[in-house]
Chain A
Amino acid sequence: MSQASLQIVKISGHAGTVPGAGVERAEQVCKLVDTTTCIGCKACEVACLEWNGYTFAETTFDNTYQTMPQTAWNYWNLIKFNEHEREDGTLQLLMRKDQCMHCADPGCLAACPADGAIVQYANGIVDFQQQNCIGCGYCVSGCPFDIPKFNPSTKKMFKCTLCADRVTVGLEPACIKACPTGCLHFGTKDDMKVLAEDRAQQLREHFDFKDAGVYDPAGVGGTGVIYVLHDVKNPEAYGGLPRDPHVPWVVRIWKGPAKWLGNLAMLGGILGVTLHYLRFGPKEVGTSKDQGAQP
């Protein structure tokens, strides 16, 4: 989605500085997903498809509520259903709305080589600009949440836009709009954090969820989607939510020191052969010494 009206603060694969970054401040926007009040109705999934113009994909049946294994290039929002057995042997059905987390420190953007294919707006939304995408799939390796997906027919990458087009004009994201239980909230990051902490405290004090807490991982600088979890010490139980997500260190080195070392080595090689030529010159054969030495 091209959002020319939103202020951009980070551009992928961009040589030089970001034009106009920092001239305008914006509120950080945030989705709050309270997994403790989600009923798994999938209204958010349908709203996402409707707003973004995709059709419902074919479902699969694996003896659980999970009708689709993971998000897809044309299915950006998916509730992950997890049957979790508690220590006392009782069953807990954990439901987590999975989508792009809109990291403050986005690994997809760090890995992307195409100028302007991934941008981060001043309001925190990380957005793919398909017209600049070259379809290399580096973002797949950069993302700690397994979110970017490849459309094989257009050879472009897609993911949740946090409804940047709606947010730009003052609307809440489509998934938030559709949620019937109010487990989804949308607002500024600061407000959502307060709301989430209040809810977690309520769960700890008034319910039997001693480890309830807020998932807003610091390893990626915090996220634009935060979760209230019954058990914040075990995020993996919620369909593979990583405990401590980071941009992979290989991606960091690749896009950081390795690039400068590699560039220096390449320049050094070119400089080296040039200096060799200037100092020693070519090897020439066929001077008078060699002529006639052999019939």
Chain B
Amino acid sequence: MSVSPTISSVSAAGPRGGQILRYTFVERVNHWLAALTYIYCLMSGLAFWSPYLFWMAIVLGGGPTARFWHPWFGLIFTLSVFGMFQAWRVDMRITDADRAWKRAIRHYIRNEDEMLPPIGRFNYGQKLFFWLMFYGVIVLLVSGFALWFVESIPWSLRWLRYLAIFLHVTAGLATIGAFVIHVYMGTAMVRGGFTSIVRGEVSAAWARTHHRLWYERITQQKTSQN
């Protein structure tokens, strides 16, 4: 099911020649919903994390306002991530091709892409990011509820309050690390990646270079369709 958008996409991209639809409109909307809600949670969360970053809460409308919206934006972010899970979980499964790619990851880091084995729609790093965010958001959701309704946790079970703090902080920091790398790669490092998540399309050359198995799959499907 997850590949169906790309099938139609190739034919849809027909007139534009050489452009391939990488992300459907719905996928893009969902990605940017996740991005904006995550950034709100990130900034307000950092404000509550360190007094030296409390100015971020001021930017977001002041401490009480940032505190009010943080859990609600967190809920929207969670739903958005679950939407991504629904859309991409098949494509995000880690395959043998990914394991081969992972062994050669130093070539990816050094931009020696011609020495990398071919891979599907997403590379191992993207998959790692996806699963970290998916499991991270589940931890953040559960621990976040405990922090949101901290007084509902009885005094005799107060270790749950402490556990919630530990989990929320740990998961938050883990997602921040992943987020920094994700933004760097999506904007500065992998040229064409940012355009693909905004306008949805990549060039055939881009698809062939970075995701050859995916490229071959959808172009063959296109051929067989025709």
Contacts and interface: CB of A to CB of B under 8 A. Distances in A.
Q: Which of A135, A259, A277, A294 has the most CB of B within 10 A?
A: A294
A270 B151 contact: no
Contact of B48 (A136, A240, A250, A283): A136
Interface string B4-30: 000000000000001000000000000
A64 interface: no
Interface in B44-59: 47-52, 54, 57
Contacts of A84: none
B184 A273 contact: yes
Nearest to B190: A283
A82 B200 CA distance: 68
Question: Which of the listed residues A137, A150, A283, A293 has the most CB atoms from chain B within 10 Å of its own CB?
Answer: A283
Interface string B123-154: 00000000000000000000000010011000
A135 B64 contact: yes
A289 to B, nearest CB: 9
Contacts of B209: 285, 290
B132 to A, nearest CB: 13
Contacts of B48: 113, 134, 136, 138
A266 B51 CA distance: 16
A251 interface: yes
Interface stretch (B33-41, B83-91, B93-101, B108-116): B108-116
Contacts of B51: 13-15, 113, 115
Contacts of B151: 137, 140, 149-150
A266 B175 CA distance: 11
Contact of B205 (A14, A135, A273, A293): A293
B205 A294 contact: yes
Contacts of B189: 273, 276-277, 282-283
Contact of A285 (B177, B181, B210): B210
Interface in A181-240: 240
B196 to A, nearest CB: 11
Contact of A259 (B49, B63, B113): B49
B198 interface: no
A141 to B, nearest CB: 4
Interface string A279-293: 011111110001101
A74 B85 CA distance: 45
Contacts of A285: 191-192, 203, 205-206, 209-210
B105 to A, nearest CB: 13
A270 B166 CA distance: 23
Instruction: Pick from B47, B51, B155 the residue with the most CB of A within 10 Å.
Output: B51
A140 B176 contact: no
B180 interface: yes
Given A259-B49, A273-B180, A282 B57 contact: no
A254 interface: yes
B181 A269 contact: yes
Interface in A246-260: 248, 250-251, 254, 258-259
Nearest to A286: B205
A231 to B, nearest CB: 22
Interface in B181-215: 181, 184, 188-192, 203-206, 208-210
Q: Give the 6 A-B CB pairs with smallest separation, nearest first.
A: A134-B63, A273-B184, A290-B205, A250-B162, A15-B51, A269-B180
28 contacts: A15-B51, A134-B48, A135-B67, A135-B68, A136-B48, A140-B150, A141-B161, A146-B155, A146-B158, A155-B67, A250-B163, A250-B166, A259-B50, A262-B169, A265-B177, A266-B173, A276-B109, A276-B184, A276-B189, A277-B188, A281-B111, A282-B191, A283-B111, A283-B113, A285-B206, A285-B210, A286-B203, A290-B209
Interface of B: 18, 47-52, 54, 57, 63-64, 66-68, 109-111, 113, 147, 150-151, 155, 158, 161-163, 165-166, 169, 173, 176-177, 180-181, 184, 188-192, 203-206, 208-210
Interface of A: 13-15, 113-115, 132-138, 140-141, 146, 149-150, 155, 240, 248, 250-251, 254, 258-259, 262-263, 265-266, 269-270, 273, 276-277, 280-286, 290-291, 293-294
